[in-house]
Chains A and B, each alone.
Chain A
Amino acid sequence: MSQILSPGTKAPEFKLNVTPDQKLSLNELKGKPVILAFYPADWSPVCSDQMALYNEILPEFHKFDAELLGISIDSYWCHTAFAESRNLHFPLLADFEPKGAVAKKYGAYQEKLGVCERALFVIDKEGTIVWSYLSPMGENPGADGILEALERLSKKKKS
């Protein structure tokens, strides 16, 4: 398994396609907590469950003013079809060319299989990673860790 970036690290900047003519950069989301969910592939059963689950929890993430981004090496056409079929309400970024470049920066690229690891990062509004988790590839990591990290962030802000 890969060695992913750990809390305290500055989150590497990226700019990736969401749709054929729309790109999104991490920088644009400054001022808000960001959840990055790297996952191996659109359509595979576990991923679908994981993304479907996050889609349901989206209103909870938004309560913390957090933005969720899914990232895989699939192309934006594939992402578009996948998001439409699952009714997803958050952006899926295409780490497609050069393949896995962003995942590699986060230590979340599985060289042997040529896909992203199933890795989660919570980034604070200043752009620092505050929580990260590498899940076994075949396992849906759920959202409890993400919610706990967001809760800690919002408490820190208040105190």
Chain B
Amino acid sequence: MNLKVPVAVSDHSQGPEDAPIILIEYGDYECPYCGRAFPEIKKVEKHFGSNLRFIFRNFPLREIHPYAEAAAEAAEFAATKGVFWEMHDNIYLNQRLLSIPTLIKLAEELNLSIADLERTIEKRAYESKIQKDFLGGIKSGVNGTPTFFINDQRYDGPPTFNSIVASIEANVK
């Protein structure tokens, strides 16, 4: 399977734009498998340093994860204040406690407006962006979370450091 939606400026991205390795995750903030993959990805990023660009796209499974969408809204809201990755990381680090009060607490720690966050969640302010990520994922063959793409190719191995690194080393010249 190939990625159908090319990397764009609207994507949340870490690492240099011209990095030879692009790792994309379609993730859900409440998905336990994404939670377990989170530290693995951090290690992968550290391992490849400036050779890797990491991109996160939303794929909330709203029907089975009641807070997935609110968490995605909170991260998108944080992005508009320049602290997407701080919020993203903190949500995964606090995934077991994920709830609206937890999201508020995380926003508070980042000096974000609580009232604005509450309004964002209530009005689903970033729904169209989140849905665009989701649909693009479906079209690219995302069939669950987390799903990764390494330079536009879907990666079907386990979401572990060793396996991802091995696949990158085998496929990216």
Contact = CB atoms under 8 A, between A and B. Distances in A.
Interface of A: 49-50, 52-53, 55-57, 60, 86-89, 140-144, 147
Nearest to B62: A56
B173 to A, nearest CB: 28
B138 A57 contact: yes
Contacts of A52: 61, 63-64
Nearest to A49: B144
Contacts, number: 41
B82 to A, nearest CB: 30
A45 to B, nearest CB: 10
Contact of B63 (A55, A60, A140, A142): A55
B5 to A, nearest CB: 12
- 3 cross-chain pairs, A with B, having the tightest CB-CB distances, nearest first: A142-B143, A140-B143, A49-B144
SS class of chain B's interface: helix, strand, loop or mixed? loop
B151 interface: no
A88 B142 CA distance: 19
Contact of B144 (A53, A86, A88, A89): A53
Nearest to A142: B143
Contacts of A49: 143-144
A87 B63 contact: yes
A39 to B, nearest CB: 13
A147 B139 contact: yes
A5 B61 CA distance: 31
Contacts of A87: 63-64
A57 B131 CA distance: 10
A142 B64 contact: no
Contacts of B1: 142, 144
Contacts of B134: 56
Contacts of A56: 61-63, 134
Nearest to A89: B63
